Structure 1
Amino acid sequence: MIDIIREYWQNYLFSDGYRLSGLAITLWLLVVSIGLGFLLAVPMAIARASSNRFISGPVWLYTYVFRGTPLYVQLLLCYTGIYSLHAVHSYAMLDAFFRNAMNCTLLAFTLNECAYATEILAGSIKATAYGEIEAAQAYGMSKFKIYTRVILPSALRRALPMYSNEVILMLHATTLAFTATIPDILKVARDVNAATYASFQAFTIAAVLYAAIVFALLWGFRRMERRLLAFLKPQGH
């Protein structure tokens, strides 16, 4: 039994030809969804922090919907719901995009991650000390420079602890990818369990892999926090 499990995990934990391992698929889902979600969240957070309701309102609605509904439902909508629409089949590009399980999974993960990251960054932007903004205005900076040189750098630093938790939660959320038949770590563990009925060994290995990734992420974020948030520590006399 152990030999069978070892053979399965050797085949799926490491790349084999053109097939990516379950570990690589999980990391790919995490990196792409976090990266794209963050890039989309920065301008949306600026809009969300705006005092103009016509600008902040649509962003609030978007974050409310995606934070108020389960990611599992969002994944099902992207994977099966949207593809069932006649308008999608009418365009070859849309048809090809939503026919691919990986594209649908990344779309759902990215949109969900963007919603949470937007609220985290918007909160940090709103919490920026007004004295910093006044100092920038005294230097004659334009509104664009104030955002790029003062508000955003300060907000991104202060949002780091909360954002690190969101990244870890996104890693846990990647376990839903098996719903779209994506061969991530959990999907591999389920395949091993189905083939060998060794549930404890299969899912224990999966748990160890997820824990190892989390510890690596925590280590990286803690180093970044010590470096980027050092100015918040009390200064000795």
Structure 2
Amino acid sequence: MSDWPVAIGTWLGNDIFVRYWPRLAEGLGVTLQLVAISIVLGGLLSLPLALARFRNRGFASTLAYGYVYFFRGTPLLAQTFLVYYGAGEFSDTLRGIGLWGFFKEAYWCVLLTFSLNTAAYQAEILAGAIRAVPRGQWEAAHALGLSKPVAFVKIILPQAFVTALRPYGNEVILMIKGSAVASVVTVFDLMGATRLAANRTFDEQVYLWAAVVYLLLVETIRRVWDLIERGLTRHLRRRA
């Protein structure tokens, strides 16, 4: 691990930061891990949900609507409590099917909750982006003799992803900030490590350091996302 955070803490005369930086760095790693995995898993789940939402009819569409409505309409904290504490109510059943080892660990419950939550938001983002693709693209693909599945995968979906880039970036940033919920159920992410340091030192200044780390993390992601978006949409700017 680099010594620059310790050097900064020493320069500022902040012994607490020097002492607890390794724990904060470890918590930051847990935060990044939770967000990265949940975004990927949520993205995989969001595709069938978005397709069901896009069709606007049938049982699958109704089920997808209910799923999205619930996870977008209730707080992430309440969802985390439902999964983590609610699983304990069914411990015997979960043991019987071999899943209690998963649900008894706070980390896995948080990861599951985050993935289900972001899947709902990503599904709405993707469904909206698919609707934004001009109808003429479907007609052109049909005129070329392409089947609907092929046209969707090769023509519609890539354009929808480009349209959804900015909202996807916002969702990643929201998940970074929302991940602090994990600390409430004893997961030592960045906020969990910060709370531990504050409880042991009785110095609330450590929350300021955590806020700075979150701010730097969000700004880094924002800048990286801008570069990605610029790279993927450079052909649109040239055409303009």
Aligned partner of 1:222 among 223, 226, 232 = 226
| Structure 1 residue 85: Cα displacement | 1.9
39 and 89 in structure 1: CA distance in 2 versus 1, 3 angstrom threshold: closer
| Map of 1:183 onto structure 2 | 188
The answer to whether the 8 A contact 2:91-2:100 is kept is no
C-alpha distance after superposition, 1:18-70 (max 9, x if no partner): xxx11110100110111100111112211210143323111011000111111
Instruction: Tell me how far apart the structure 2 counterparts of residues 24 and 230 of structure 1 sit (CA, whole Å).
Output: 33
| Map of 1:18 onto structure 2 | none
| Map of 1:17 onto structure 2 | none
Instruction: Tell me how far apart the structure 2 counterparts of residues 93 and 56 of structure 1 sit (CA, whole Å).
Output: 31
Secondary structure in 2 aligned to 1:93? coil
Q: Is 1:2 matched with 2:14? A: yes
What stretches of structure 1 move > 4 A for 4+ residues in a row? none
Structure 1 stretches lacking a partner, 5+ long: 15-20
| Structure 1 residue 92: Cα displacement | 5.1
The answer to whether the 8 A contact 1:41-1:117 is kept is yes
For residues 134-213 of structure 1, the aligned pairs below 5 Å read 134-200=139-205, 202-213=206-217
4 and 86 in structure 1: CA distance in 2 versus 1, 3 angstrom threshold: closer
| Structure 1 residue 234: Cα displacement | 7.1
Q: Number of residues paired by the alignment?
A: 228
Aligned partner of 2:136 among 128, 131, 137 = 131
The answer to whether the 8 A contact 1:5-1:196 is kept is no
190 and 24 in structure 1: CA distance in 2 versus 1, 3 angstrom threshold: same
| Structure 1 residue 230: Cα displacement | 2.9
The answer to whether the 8 A contact 1:5-1:192 is kept is no
| Structure 1 residue 235: Cα displacement | 3.6
Instruction: Tell me how far apart the structure 2 counterparts of residues 70 and 172 of structure 1 sit (CA, whole Å).
Output: 13
Q: Is 1:44 matched with 2:56? A: no
Aligned partner of 2:28 among 14, 23, 31 = 23
| Structure 1 residue 105: Cα displacement | 0.3
Identity among equivalent pairs (%): 39
| Structure 1 residue 209: Cα displacement | 1.0
Instruction: Tell me how far apart the structure 2 counterparts of residues 127 and 134 of structure 1 sit (CA, whole Å).
Output: 15
| Structure 1 residue 137: Cα displacement | 0.8
Instruction: Tell me how far apart the structure 2 counterparts of residues 159 and 226 of structure 1 sit (CA, whole Å).
Output: 13
C-alpha distance after superposition, 1:98-131 (max 9, x if no partner): 1011110001100000000000100111111011
Q: Is 1:69 matched with 2:74? A: yes
TM-score (norm 1): 0.91
| Structure 1 residue 151: Cα displacement | 1.0
213 and 150 in structure 1: CA distance in 2 versus 1, 3 angstrom threshold: same
Secondary structure in 2 aligned to 1:49? helix
Secondary structure in 2 aligned to 1:81? helix
Amino acid at match of 1:33: S
The answer to whether the 8 A contact 2:24-2:194 is kept is no
The answer to whether the 8 A contact 2:186-2:192 is kept is yes
Structure 2 stretches lacking a partner, 5+ long: 1-12
The answer to whether the 8 A contact 1:45-1:118 is kept is yes
